[in-house]
Amino acid sequence: MKTRILVACAMTGIAFPVAAQFKESKEGCFYTPAAIEAALGFRVADGRGTEVGFPGGKSLSCTYGGAGRNGVMLTVERMDKPGAFGGASGMAGKAEPVAGDPDKAYWQVGQGDLTDVALTYVRGNSRTQVRVTGVNMKDKAAVEAMRARVLKLPRVS
């Protein structure tokens, strides 16, 4: 699989640093299934985590699958240099700020069919996103209720 990716990158002229390495890792699985159920109101399985190293930092992610379309994806990007993140740049859709949030958190909205309840915030040298799937985004009350629940999860960095 790695060979195919490297060959595809070489053929398209994409720079793919040797330092960028994908591996399974539980380091990004900060939440327990019990903590997610307590905050969000649905059961999930143990998280499956990955880590990708790159020059200047690494990306940790963890996916917690639930029944039906419910699930949680947690992504933490850690940079070696504090202050490397300049806000909501480089994201799809738009950022809707969470009023009065100490971490200047924002909801990612306006992604068309890919929109989920997604909270992003920056702490020190880490940018964290908690994305909850399975919420009917056309049901404003359901979205607001899940947003309130997501804000109850402990912040990680």
Tens of pLDDT, residues 89-133: 556 678 899 999 999 899 988 776 667 899 999 888 889 999 999
Domain membership of residue 2 (yes or no) is: no
Task: Return the pLDDT at 40.
Answer: 96
Residue with tokens 């306006």: 110
pLDDT at 9 over 60: no
Report pTM: 0.79
pLDDT tens for 43-87 read 999 999 999 988 889 999 999 999 888 999 999 998 887 666 655
Task: Return the pLDDT at 11.
Answer: 37
Domain membership of residue 67 (yes or no) is: yes
SS3 content of the chain, % helix, strand, coil (to 5): 20, 35, 45
Task: Return the pLDDT at 3.
Answer: 42
- How deeply is 111 buried, as exposed, middle or buried, from its count of CB atoms within 10 A (0-12, 13-18, 19+)? middle
| Helices and strands (H and E) in the chain: how many | 3, 8
Instruction: Write out the residue range of the structural domain in which residue 105 sits.
Output: 23-150
Q: Which of 22-26, 31-35, 141-145, 146-150 has the lowest mean pLDDT?
A: 22-26
- In the 8-state DSSP scheme, what is residue 112? G
Helix H or strand E encompassing 3: helix 2-12
Domain membership of residue 43 (yes or no) is: yes
Give the pLDDT band of residue 7 (cuts 50, 70, 90).
very low
Task: Return the pLDDT at 133.
Answer: 93
pLDDT at 30 over 70: yes
Domain membership of residue 81 (yes or no) is: yes
Task: Return the pLDDT at 5.
Answer: 41
Cα–Cα dist 7/38, whole Å = 45
The pair of three-digit structure tokens given for residue 109, joined into one six-digit string: 């909205």
What is the number of domains present in the chain? 1
How many Cβ atoms from other residues are within 10 Å of residue 116's Cβ? 19
Domain membership of residue 18 (yes or no) is: no
Domain membership of residue 9 (yes or no) is: no
Task: Return the pLDDT at 112.
Answer: 67
Domain membership of residue 107 (yes or no) is: yes
Domain membership of residue 14 (yes or no) is: no
